[in-house]
A and B are shown apart, each in its own frame.
Chain A
């Protein structure tokens, strides 16, 4: 009599079948792995050829860098993800941006006590250029933004805040929500803002405006001028254009990474 399904024999058979399927799955995986390995080698060769012709272009042509990055982004590839990536090893894109990251960190740290950890992209650009010296490769503002986006992962609070056509770069882990950001944008035109301006432009209650301004004061990002005619003015040192031409003092440089 043949009973179906039950019994030790059936169970053993089932287990054998399962094992066989699994084995088959593994074999399939191995096949595809081998195939992938081959495709990868081909990719690597192509990239080496590309690199031998165009490595200089990437280093010298910022427009090419932008186009290249944008394209990689649409397809889901990040050439700056790892220094160990092909892009980095063969095209040398990595070192350019990672070194820029170091320079950005140092400038932000040196100026933090002046501006509370907020700096315009323009000023950052000027200071980084000065620090890089005469013989280094020039960098564009787009290059800076890409380097900063990579730095976010280090947990130091790096952020990019769009204001009036340019950007403010945040380099401290202070919480800046939408309210804070919108007030920064309002302040960008003149470098300062008042409670009345916030009330009339943004239609906020006085209390809400005051809370935001106090937070910025506490974080050292805003300075209070109580002697202004009319009402107190809240100034943002990050937006003082005169600061562009000031050098980083030796004391400030010491504050930066040794």
Chain B
């Protein structure tokens, strides 16, 4: 921690902010210090830490001081950390919070996450070494200590060896995955050749194989679209799960709402967005009490079969007439709907000729269509 210097925290000319993360604690080697809650900023030239409670307290260290960095995974009750190994402090360093330290490394503890991104960016800056090309102000200390290169912090060689091993294993993972993916590709090609001679049942079987593999489906049959048995089952399940929520929300919900509701309820084995869409596309053909509807804008909703959006338009017209005019936001608040669906209803009313729009920079406002009623 003795490599840090007090700073104003302002960026120098030529220095750019790369990434910042709040909720970071600094540790001097293995020991905690009073800098326990701050915003950590990475610039092209420095690592800056500012206390979250006292903005005046701000310290920085030039990136040129860093020998190398490594990640320390989170544990139970422990945040993830980045360990930063440092060159010895140069003799002409500006004053800082510590005169000396028995450690040659510091730890950055990410109490509010963000270490993955920070580590990535810091690694990039360490590789690019942009501070060498753009000398910025006098606060950057170029480390002229000739011993720096040859001093090795304790255990660096061992650490580097471990990193190399880890890299090799990951490469092995990737090549194994590649083999399997090649296998799936050959199967996909076989499927393409099969078009024409196959029965409905067999097609469904093929599709379920593709589904397992995550291969884009080249076969679409009229009866079930790009769905499979899985999606059929899912459609039936959805009909059960969504009945009550739909009734509570006036008979209509956007697909994003459904996605969140269903996945929050599941907790595990979540549905992919595509699963949801494919299942919903089958609702009508399976004669279930819900249906998928796609508005002109592309917004997708699930409606109860008993729900009649056109009837709702009539009541929307009444509401708008009572108030003289309404924006989608105002209408949504009045009726207790989401703004997205409120807007769709007003647009539908306009399409049916009941409302007129006034489109200005102050927003989109709807009025009853007097051209129709008062001619």
B22 touches A245 (CB 8 A): yes
**Which residues of chain B are within 8 angstroms of A71 by Cβ–Cβ distance?**
174, 177-178, 181
Q: A40-B212, A85-B214, A155-B300 are in contact. Are A214 and B361 (CB under 8 A)?
A: yes
B340 touches A156 (CB 8 A): yes
Residue on B nearest A139 in the bound complex, by CB: B116
Q: A82-B211, A157-B298 are in contact. Are A77 and B259 (CB under 8 A)?
A: no
A102 touches B117 (CB 8 A): no
Residue on A nearest B179 in the bound complex, by CB: A46
B275 touches A83 (CB 8 A): yes
Complex partner residue of A257 from B185, B257, B270, B275, CB under 8 angstroms = B257
Contact segment of A5-13, A29-37, A176-184, A193-201:
A29-37
Let me know if A110 is at the binding interface, CB within 8 A.
no
What's the Cα separation between A87 and B212 when bound, in Å? 8
Complex partner residue of A50 from B176, B184, B190, B194, CB under 8 angstroms = B176
Interface size on B, residues (CB 8 A): 82
A138 touches B115 (CB 8 A): yes
B276 touches A154 (CB 8 A): yes
CB within 8 Å of B: which of A82-137? 82-89, 94-95, 97-99, 101-102, 105-106, 112, 122, 125-126, 129-130, 132, 134, 136
B216 touches A218 (CB 8 A): no
**Which residues of chain A are within 8 angstroms of B117 by Cβ–Cβ distance?**
125, 140-141
Let me know if B256 is at the binding interface, CB within 8 A.
yes
Let me know if A187 is at the binding interface, CB within 8 A.
no
Let me know if B90 is at the binding interface, CB within 8 A.
no
Q: A95-B269, A105-B256, A217-B361 are in contact. Are A82 and B275 (CB under 8 A)?
A: yes
B255 touches A50 (CB 8 A): no
A84 touches B270 (CB 8 A): no
**Which residues of chain A are within 8 angstroms of B22 by Cβ–Cβ distance?**
126, 245
CB within 8 Å of A: which of B220-271? 230, 254-257, 259-261, 263-264, 268-271
How many whole Å from A248's CB to the nearest CB in chain B? 14
Binary A-proximity of B142-177 (CB < 8 A = 1, otherwise 0):
000000000000000000000000000010011011
The contact size tier of chain A is 35 or more
26 pairs, CB–CB < 8 Å, chain A vs chain B: A26-B199, A30-B202, A33-B206, A36-B187, A40-B209, A54-B173, A62-B116, A71-B174, A72-B181, A75-B178, A75-B181, A76-B215, A76-B216, A84-B211, A84-B230, A84-B275, A98-B272, A102-B264, A134-B111, A139-B116, A141-B117, A150-B273, A154-B277, A173-B297, A173-B298, A214-B361
The DSSP consensus for interface residues of chain A is helix
**Which residues of chain B are within 8 angstroms of A36 by Cβ–Cβ distance?**
187, 190-191, 206, 209
Q: A39-B183, A224-B361 are in contact. Are A72 and B214 (CB under 8 A)?
A: yes
How many whole Å from B89's CB to the nearest CB in chain A? 31
B359 touches A153 (CB 8 A): no
B120 touches A153 (CB 8 A): no
Q: A63-B170, A157-B298 are in contact. Are A80 and B181 (CB under 8 A)?
A: no
Let me know if B219 is at the binding interface, CB within 8 A.
no
How many whole Å from A89's CB to the nearest CB in chain B? 8
Q: A43-B180, A98-B270, A173-B298 are in contact. Are A87 and B214 (CB under 8 A)?
A: yes
B113 touches A129 (CB 8 A): yes
Let me know if B197 is at the binding interface, CB within 8 A.
yes
**Which residues of chain B are within 8 angstroms of A61 by Cβ–Cβ distance?**
170
Interface residues of B (CB under 8 A from A): 19-20, 22, 39, 73-74, 79-80, 110-117, 120, 170, 173-174, 176-188, 190-191, 194, 196-199, 202, 205-206, 209, 211-216, 230, 254-257, 259-261, 263-264, 268-277, 294, 297-300, 339-340, 359-361, 363-364
Complex partner residue of B272 from A54, A150, A172, CB under 8 angstroms = A150
What's the Cα separation between A244 and B23 when bound, in Å? 13
How many whole Å from A191's CB to the nearest CB in chain B? 14
**Which residues of chain B are within 8 angstroms of A25 by Cβ–Cβ distance?**
196-197
- 6 A-B pairs besides A57-B173, A130-B112 with CB distance below 8 A are A44-B212, A81-B274, A94-B270, A102-B259, A102-B264, A257-B260
B255 touches A81 (CB 8 A): no
Complex partner residue of A99 from B176, B186, B270, CB under 8 angstroms = B270
What's the Cα separation between A19 and B212 when bound, in Å? 34
**Which residues of chain A are within 8 angstroms of B181 by Cβ–Cβ distance?**
71-72, 75, 77
Complex partner residue of A98 from B80, B173, B179, B263, CB under 8 angstroms = B263
What's the Cα separation between A136 and B73 when bound, in Å? 12
B272 touches A94 (CB 8 A): yes
List the 7 closest pairs (A to B, CB-CB), nearest first.
Answer: A155-B300, A25-B197, A98-B270, A257-B260, A129-B113, A81-B214, A156-B256
A46 touches B180 (CB 8 A): yes
How many whole Å from B152's CB to the nearest CB in chain A? 26
What's the Cα separation between A81 and B74 when bound, in Å? 30
B211 touches A218 (CB 8 A): no
What's the Cα separation between A57 and B271 when bound, in Å? 22
What's the Cα separation between A75 and B174 when bound, in Å? 13
What's the Cα separation between A150 and B256 when bound, in Å? 12
Let me know if A204 is at the binding interface, CB within 8 A.
no
**Which residues of chain B are within 8 angstroms of A44 by Cβ–Cβ distance?**
212
Residue on B nearest A54 in the bound complex, by CB: B173
Complex partner residue of B187 from A29, A40, A72, A86, CB under 8 angstroms = A40
**Which residues of chain A are within 8 angstroms of B271 by Cβ–Cβ distance?**
83, 98
A156 touches B255 (CB 8 A): yes
**Which residues of chain A are within 8 angstroms of B196 by Cβ–Cβ distance?**
25
How many whole Å from A21's CB to the nearest CB in chain B? 10
Of the candidates B211, B259, B261, the one having the most CB atoms from chain A within 10 angstroms of its own CB is B259
